[in-house]
Amino acid sequence: MRIVFPIFDGLTALDAVGPYEVLRMLPDADVVFAAAVPGPVTDGAGMLSLTATEAFADVTAADVLVVPGGPGARANVRNEALLDWIRRIDATTRWTTSVCTGSLLLGAAGLLEGLRATTHWSATGLLESYGATYTEQRVVEQGRIITAAGVSSGIDMALQLVELIEGPIAAQAFQLAIEYDPQPPFDAGSYAKAPQAAKDYLASR
């Protein structure tokens, strides 16, 4: 089970690390972090690095592709080398997935045309410019393509994917292993529910 995460400067680390913590527990999981060149890539905050062990050029197939988002995803929507690589890997996968604005890269690669999909609430218009229909669902499954909404929803997506691959007992076991039992202190985790003051605070930063 080869699980490939393309990573790039400016990614949101949790978009990759959240699903990684779940998917690495699959039987025979072979997890690969790939980048344009092997080595460290820096997250969108400029404070955290993840290490790519392989170059895109050396990764030619995957069972599962997980495309993270972040400022770097938006910056790469015209990166034809990356988009072409995503298309080529998608042609080999059982499942092609994205987290947050990683869906913009799937869209820019032409993989979401005519499909329902989700993304971070701040990128809905751009997602639809690629021919997708935005939905507010946290995880959207369209055949073998699965998109997840912003950042933390990557964990939900990974658990849903485990259920599809290995069954509900495995998914529940993995959820227990990471003690994923969300009990947020505020009910502000989606744009529809967040108070206006919180939206204004983000807009002012």
Cα–Cα distance between 69 and 118 in angstroms, integer? 12
Each residue's pLDDT tens digit, 187-200: 999 999 999 999 99
Contact (CB, 8 A) for 40 and 68: no
| Residue 119 backbone dihedrals phi, psi, to 5 degrees | -165, -175
Tokens of 18: 């959240």
pLDDT of the residue at 86? 98
Is residue 50 flagged as an active site residue?
A: no
Output the pLDDT for position 21: 98
Among residues 7, 22, 83, 100, the one annotated as catalytic is 100
Average pLDDT over residues 122-136: 97
Parse the chain into domains and list their residue ranges.
2-203
Per the prediction, the chain carries an average pLDDT of 97
Return the pLDDT at 62. Answer: 98
Over range 124-150, report the average pLDDT: 97
Give the SS3 label for residue 105.
helix
**In this structure, which topology does domain 2-203 adopt according to CATH?**
Rossmann fold (3.40.50)
For residues 11-32, average pLDDT: 98
pLDDT in tens, 83-105: 999 999 999 999 999 999 999 99
Name the residue among 92, 102, 95 with its Cα closest to residue 145: 95
DSSP three-state, residue 29: coil
H/E stretch holding 49: strand 49-52
